[in-house]
Amino acid sequence: MKWSVLGMLLALSLVVSLPAWADTFPYPGPPQNVDASKFQTDSSQICEPIGGVLFTDIGFIPLGPSGTNQGQAYGDLAGPVGATVLGADSRGGYDVQHYWVHVSGGQIWFKQGWLKPSAVTPTIGKTAGHVDTALAAVRWGDYVVEWQGGTGKFANTTGYGDFFGEADFVNNTLVLRYRGMMCRPRQ
């Protein structure tokens, strides 16, 4: 009994401290498919790294060809999020439109994004060694979305998010870590 309580307290303390650890890791810079020159501090703008995590229910709202995901983001862009998969394209990926409202009430106006999911091949369990079609992985650099402006604190900002995580199509859940850059004009 003592060990299970200790284990629960340790796990809880780790989860609660995750946001504090997020700032300790160095930002690796933009992925190759982002024009890095647009997201650098210079005489006209100030840029800062952003990061966090989001969770959504896949296809929760019956809008668009595959439904619209709805969920919650935490971190620098905390607030409710939505994403509609607009359809597959000839490059083997999917066009996605995002809807994002910050907890401050400001909206972030995202450009249409592109997602290139990867197959998942478990190494243990009953599906070990075989592609699990119920899962899709998202690698860093394979899901990058830019934004141009918004409302409230996001008016006149530019930025991008680079996402990493996994989708589970049996339980219709998606968990993604995001990192990126946000720039605003100098005052």
**Number of domains composing the chain:** 1
Structural domain contains residue 151: yes
Provide the CATH number for the domain around residue 82: 2.40.350
Structural domain contains residue 7: no
Structural domain contains residue 64: yes
Q: What is the pLDDT of residues 114-148, one digit of tens each?
A: 888 888 888 888 878 888 888 889 988 889 999 99
pTM: 0.77
pLDDT at residue 28 in the model: 60
First to last CA, the chain: 58
Structural domain contains residue 26: no
Range of the domain at 178: 41-185
What is the DSSP code string of 78-121?
Answer: -EEEEEEEEEE-TTS-EEEEEEEE-TTS-EEEEPPEEE--EE--
Contact 93, 139 (CB under 8 A): no
Structural domain contains residue 179: yes
**Rounded alpha-carbon distances, angstroms, from residue 46 to 100, 144, 145, 159:** 22, 21, 20, 11
Structural domain contains residue 14: no
Structural domain contains residue 120: yes
By mean pLDDT, which of 70-74, 101-105, 115-119 is the weakest?
Answer: 115-119
Q: What percent of the chain has pLDDT over 90?
A: 47
Structural domain contains residue 125: yes
